Structures are given as structure tokens and as C-alpha cells.
Amino acid sequence: MTRAPKSAGGRFVARAVLAAVSAALLGCGDDARTRTAEERGEMLFQSAVASDAPGNVFACATCHGTTAQRRFDTGSSLLGAPNRPSFWGGTEVDYLRGLNQCRRGFMGASQDYASTDRDALDLTAYLLSSGGSVSPQPFSVVTTITNVANGDATRGESVMVAACSRCHGDADGHDRLSVRIPSLRADFQRAHATYTPAERRLIFIEKVRHGSFLGYGGDMPPYGLEAMGDTDLSDLLAYLGL
Ligand code: HEC
Ligand code: HEC
């Protein structure tokens, strides 16, 4: 994972700014005593302050819904999650470790939550506050990358909007969440200019399927088959001209 070097001083300022912003916008600060654990947990869930990393722009809500699974969210819906018997498609049995994997891997947090940390307790209180599913959620990771069929560019635009735009903005990168997130047309083409079109297509498919995992760096989340089927991916590739 590449991150800008951070000095202790810069980090302190960034934290102080984040704390002030969160206090002002989200009310996580002084009046927190008047809020319930569930309310404070919801604010943490919706905001990037759930990680102390200065460059983090992700909130839990960037990747997870709290209603029944919305397609195109890379992570499953999290209401009820603390009571599930297993996580991450059955590869993790400890809820807090499953959560910390997201904070550290995607959100760059410097330290894992301990089970007694107030933020962890409040997030958990929120996730247990109303219904949700306590069943293990499927998460089928595509390990072997192969080409997909040619798709429908018009449908592909709606796939892009529903799945990728919350981070990448439109195909040219307008309204992206952060300037360090590449645009899916020009930046991607430029970064992989030395490859043939067929190779670029496979690199793109691998990025969507693996995110920052399985040898591919970065901090983008992976898309399992439940979040994005091969047909959706075909349509998206057609829309992006890949
Ligand atoms: C960049 C995207 C991303 C962010 C940000 C993120 N997660 Fe995740 N999370 C995932 C993915 C992908 C999975 C694996 C698929 C799944 O099991 O839901 C996952 C899995 C989980 C799981 C296991 C769920 C299950 O039933 O298997 C928990 C719990 C969790 N995340 C909590 C959180 C919390 C709390 C936050 C915020 C502090 C957070 N995540 C932030 C992408 C993300
Ligand atoms: C939660 C935010 C998030 C979402 C949602 C997301 N991405 Fe990304 N993506 C990133 C970040 C951050 C990077 C740059 C760091 C990295 O490569 O992991 C990136 C990088 C990429 C790259 C560039 C890889 C390279 O080698 O240059 C591609 C391609 C890509 N994303 C495709 C997609 C597609 C397609 C979707 C929708 C299906 C999508 N992303 C959804 C955050 C996201």
C-alpha cells in the first residue's frame, strides 16, 4: 500500500482537524454524552473518522449498506453482523477481526480496535440496534481471472454509476472521492499503456475481482460474484471501451 509519509506533527494536525470537523458536522464531540451509543455508532459508520489515517476518505457506509444487501456494494449489509457465526465468506470467525480487517486494510487505521474501545462498542451497538441478518453472508471471490463476454454499453453506464462512481466519479473522474483515485478511462489507460488491449482488459477484470488482494496492491475493495456478476462486468467493460 502506498501512502504519503506522515510526520508526527502533520498527523497531529490532521487528527485535530478531523476531530474538529467531526465534532462540528457530526456531533461526535462535546455533546456526545447526550447521544446514545447507537446514535454515536451510526455517525462513526457514516463518516471517515472511523479511521485515524490522515488520507482516509472511506466510511464504513462507502462499502456497506445497512438495509438488505444492495447489489454493487462490495461489502455485505451489516445490520445484525455482530451476531453472525462467521464473516468474510466463512474465512473469519471473529467479528472484531473481520471489522478490523476493513479498518486497517481499506481505511489505513494505525491500530486495531480492542473489544473495549468506545468506538468499537458504539459501532457494534448501532449494528445491533434494529434487525438485519444474523446468517453468514455469501462472498464468492473469483480467484482465477478469465476474460468475460462482450457486453451492453448502455447497461454498463448504470453499473458504473451504481458500483464505482461513489469512489471513482464518472468515467473521466469528475466528482471522484479523492484525487488519488484514478479515473477509469484516461488514468487507467495511461497507467497500463505498455500492455495490449486484451491484456488491459484482463488487468481491469482482475482489479475489480481482487481489489487490493491476491497480489494486487492498493486499497480498493474486491467485488465478489454476489456484488457484481460477470454480465454486469461485461457491460461495464463495454461502456468504458475496454
Ligand atoms: C473499502 C470498502 C470497505 C470499507 C471502507 C469497510 N468495509 Fe467492511 N468489508 C468490505 C468487504 C469487501 C468485506 C467482505 C465481504 C463481506 O463479507 O461483507 C467486508 C466485511 C466486513 C465485515 C464482515 C461481514 C460479514 O458478514 O462477512 C464486517 C463486520 C465489516 N466489514 C465491518 C466494517 C466496518 C464496521 C467498517 C467501518 C469501520 C468497514 N467494514 C469498512 C469492505 C469494506
Ligand atoms: C470504495 C472505493 C472504491 C470503489 C467502490 C471502487 N474503487 Fe476502484 N479504486 C479505488 C482506489 C482507492 C483505487 C486506487 C488504489 C488501488 O489501486 O487500490 C482504485 C483503483 C482502481 C483501478 C486502477 C487500477 C490500476 O491498476 O491502475 C481500477 C481499474 C478500478 N479501481 C476499477 C474499479 C471499478 C470498475 C469499480 C466499480 C466496479 C471500482 N473500481 C470501485 C477505490 C474504489
Q: Is 43 near ligand 1, meaning CB less than 6 Å away?
A: no
First to last CA, the chain: 26
Tell me which amino acid residue 139 is.
F
- Give pLDDT, residue 212: 78
Please report, rounded to a whole number, the percentage of residues in the chain having pLDDT higher than 90. 78
Q: Is 53 near ligand 1, meaning CB less than 6 Å away?
A: no
- Find the mean pLDDT for residues 215-234: 90
Contact 38, 126 (CB under 8 A): yes
- Give pLDDT, residue 31: 55
pLDDT over threshold 90, residue 192: yes
pLDDT per position as a tens digit, 90-138: 999 999 999 999 999 999 999 999 999 999 999 999 999 988 999 999 9
Report the nearest atom of ligand 1 relative to the CA of 219: 1
pLDDT over threshold 70, residue 42: yes
pLDDT over threshold 90, residue 214: no
Q: Is 124 near ligand 1, meaning CB less than 6 Å away?
A: no
How many A from CA of 46 to the centre of ligand 1? 13
| Grid coordinates of 32 | 456526545
The whole-chain average pLDDT of the chain stands at 87
> Does residue 73 or residue 14 have the better pLDDT?
73
Contacts made by residues 18-21, CB under 8 angstroms, sequence distance 24+? 18/48, 18/49, 18/52, 18/54, 19/49, 21/49
pLDDT band at 71 (very low <50, low <70, confident <90, very high): confident
- Give pLDDT, residue 69: 62
